[in-house]
Amino acid sequence: MWEPLSASLRARYPSLAGRHVVISGGASGIGAALAMAFAAQQARVTVLDIDDSAASALGERLPDLRYRHCDLTDIDSLRAALRALEREAPIDVLISNAADDRRQAFFEIEPADWDRSQAINLRAHFFAAQAAAHGMRERGRGTIINLGSVAWMRGNPAMSGYTTAKAGIHGLTRTLARELGPHGIRVNSLVPGAVVTDKQQRLWRTPEQDAEFLALQALGFRLLPDDIAAMAMFLAADDSRGCTAQAFVVDAGLTVH
């Protein structure tokens, strides 16, 4: 298995220095890797999450981290949080990363289960973008990155709500890119493959699962959150100024059929 790329080998993006990057679900997993990566670029990083304990632990590693407790399914609270952050420092980059990929058998899904899945995995992305885009529009620039997933392309079983929402991220991203492009705002989706996170380690990862994914991938190593953060930094930086309305897949060549 490959080791994480050394920090000394990471690309530097001068345009990210001093920019305010807001990351939903940023206290753990991919979100925490995003926070650490952008902090290393001297960006001003704010995390939205409901996991106060994980945010506190991340804050010990990133003393300048800003954290705001926010239930993203409560749109009024989400809007209020983003308005407050905008007043503190204009939001330059919004990364909608928060997600809930819980497994649930098809015949067991109830309307409340379905609605909750859409609320966290799709609805929050739209309303976060809407709230953050007000300030971006006034300044004539900004970047929005929506986290998708290859799960919908693979048709993963027992994840109907999640895969439906993640498929919706692609349509949402393309529409927002057209709506907001005239205001200098770029919108892209970042699509991770099978990434090894603490949650995956705790709930599902096994040697058999590792072997399965390695057999399906073109590259013979398990993806780590840092691999996703590397693409996110490029998409947030001015280096990608010509990129919008696109889905950038980071999946080590995972077979989706």
Active site residues per annotation: 162
Distance CA 143, CA 133 (A): 9
The number of helix segments (H) and strand segments (E) in the chain equals 10, 7
Distance CA 241, CA 234 (A): 10
Tokens of 198: 């603490």
Which residues share a beta bridge with 68?
48
Cα 104-105-107 angle, rounded to 5 deg: 125
Amino acid identity of residue 119, one-letter, is A
Q: Is 16 in contact with 41 (CB distance < 8 Å)?
A: yes
Q: Is 50 in contact with 70 (CB distance < 8 Å)?
A: yes
Secondary structure (3-state) at 38: helix
Amino acid identity of residue 239, one-letter, is D
| DSSP per-residue codes, 111-159 | HHHHHHHHIIIIIHHHHHHHHHHHHHHHHT-EEEEEE--THHHHT-TT-
Long-range CB contacts (< 8 A, 24+ apart) of 228-231?
A: 228/30, 228/33, 228/34, 228/190, 228/192, 228/195, 229/30, 229/33, 229/34, 229/36, 229/37, 229/38, 230/5, 230/10, 230/11, 230/37, 231/190
